[in-house]
Amino acid sequence: MHTITLIKGDGIGPSIMDEAVKVINATGVKIEWEEAYAGLSAFEKFGTPLPEETMASFDKTRVAFKGPLTTVVGSGFRSINVALRQQYDLYANVRPAKSWAGIKTRYEDVDIVIVRENTEGLYVGLEHYLSPKKDIAESLAVVTRTASERIVEYAFQYARDNNRKKVTVCHKANILKFSQGLFLDVAREVAARYPDIAFDEKIVDAACMHMVMKPEQFDVVVTTNMFGDILSDLTAGLVGGLGLIPGANIGADAALFEAVHGSAPDIAGKNLANPIAVIMAGAMMLSHIGEVEAAEKVIKAVEKVVNEGIYVTPDLNPDSKYGTIEMGNAIAAAVE
């Protein structure tokens, strides 16, 4: 029996997470779901977007499955997602984007995994105004050798474990010679320890162009926090959109699985939200807890339903009469 902290989240969160839990339970893996709250729903219930009860659950289970959270403006937290990543040192953000046979896009052969440094860079929160008039602002990017080394190591080890051939480091060391220069230097050092994996370097702006023109030249991509944030939305666009991309936040002794997209208030409560991203995040979580066979079952079931194109949400097929619940039911049935 596994115990997992379940945070359904806000907006479309509860509806897509209910479908994801249904699909995971259909694999037969025994999971005790410990429900906890974060984001707007927690703020309304407990007066804080990150209650102690939620942290206590995650402290114990060390695995969380989380729906998207609406950012609560003026709550004292910049972002609950960033707070959780920093608190549990979830340093590796892994975001795979793969073409689907049943989803028409410009390319058929995209298979890119973005490995994003998740704890530092420009997202450390060191920002302020430099003048009383607030007409000059400064944001600091922090890059450390330790964090750079562990994320690049993670990317190479991921490539080796998942039978992937190449790691590309995306950087801006030509301009940001210190922070990005350090990241690139460390990437080169780590790459030398993995002679079995090809290594490539790309300046991030050129990488964006290459990714939209020739995505097949990318395999695993490792990069700093903000570039990873941007590049992973770019790769989402290459394979059919944000509703499809899962994300794993991995630390040394804790992990959190979620979709890349947000709480989509514009479509909440309408049975329109695509549950694929959280279901695929659930598959990543099953692998993480050692239930590899169940993870494969989930992926195959999702592929079947998406590629048949019948029980899918309207973002995948505008003529579809079906929505979130019907898609979840079809995937759960395919798992069984």
Ligand X SMILES: NC(=O)c1ccc[n+]([C@@H]2O[C@H](COP(=O)([O-])OP(=O)(O)OC[C@H]3O[C@@H](n4cnc5c(N)ncnc54)[C@H](O)[C@@H]3O)[C@@H](O)[C@H]2O)c1
Q: Which residues contact 192 (CB under 8 A, 6 or more apart)?
A: none
CB of 46 to ligand X, least distance (A): 18
Q: Does 237 bind ligand X (CB under 6 A)?
A: no
- Residue from 68, 121, 228, 240 in contact with ligand X (CB under 6 A): 68
CB of 255 to ligand X, least distance (A): 15
Distance between CA 266 and CA 99 in Å, rounded? 26
Distance between CA 323 and CA 16 in Å, rounded? 10
Residue 172: active-site member: yes
CB of 313 to ligand X, least distance (A): 6
Distance between CA 199 and CA 159 in Å, rounded? 11
Within 10 Å of residue 108's Cβ, how many Cβ atoms?
Answer: 12
Is the Cα torsion angle 245, 258, 167, 223 positive or negative in sign? positive
Is the Cα torsion angle 77, 82, 84, 89 positive or negative in sign? negative
Give me the half-sphere count of Cα atoms (radius 13 Å) on the Cβ side of residue 227.
24
Alpha helices by DSSP H, listed for 11-79, are 13-26, 40-46, 52-61
- Residue from 25, 48, 71, 329 in contact with ligand X (CB under 6 A): 71
Q: Does 69 bind ligand X (CB under 6 A)?
A: yes
Q: Does 110 bind ligand X (CB under 6 A)?
A: no
Residue 123: active-site member: yes
CB of 180 to ligand X, least distance (A): 25
By CB under 6 A, what part of segment 293-322 binds ligand X?
315
Residue 180 or 232: the one with the smaller Cβ distance to ligand X is 232
Read off φ and ψ for residue 132, nearest 5 degrees.
-60, -30
Q: What is the DSSP letter of 325?
A: H
Catalytic entry in 45, 59, 177, 205 = 205
Q: Which residues contact 121 (CB under 8 A, 6 or more apart)?
A: 141, 142, 143, 179, 224, 225, 226
Residue 8 or 202: the one with the smaller Cβ distance to ligand X is 8
Pull the structure tokens for residue 159. 């490539």
Q: Which amino acid is at 260?
A: V
Q: Which stretch binds ligand X (CB under 6 A): 69-77, 123-131, 148-156, 223-231?
A: 69-77
Q: Does 249 bind ligand X (CB under 6 A)?
A: no
CB of 287 to ligand X, least distance (A): 20
Residue 18: active-site member: no
Interface characters, 269-298, with ligand X (x: CB under 6 A): ----xx--x---------------------
Catalytic entry in 88, 91, 202, 229 = 229
Distance, C-alpha 237 to centroid of its chain: 14
Q: Kindly determine how many residues on this chain lie close enough to bind ligand X according to the rule CB under 6 A.
A: 20
Residue 73 or 192: the one with the smaller Cβ distance to ligand X is 73
Residue 10: active-site member: no
Q: Does 169 bind ligand X (CB under 6 A)?
A: no
List, by residue number, the catalytic residues. Answer: 123, 172, 205, 229
Which chain residues interact with ligand X by CB under 6 A?
12, 68-71, 81, 242-243, 258, 261-267, 273-274, 277, 315
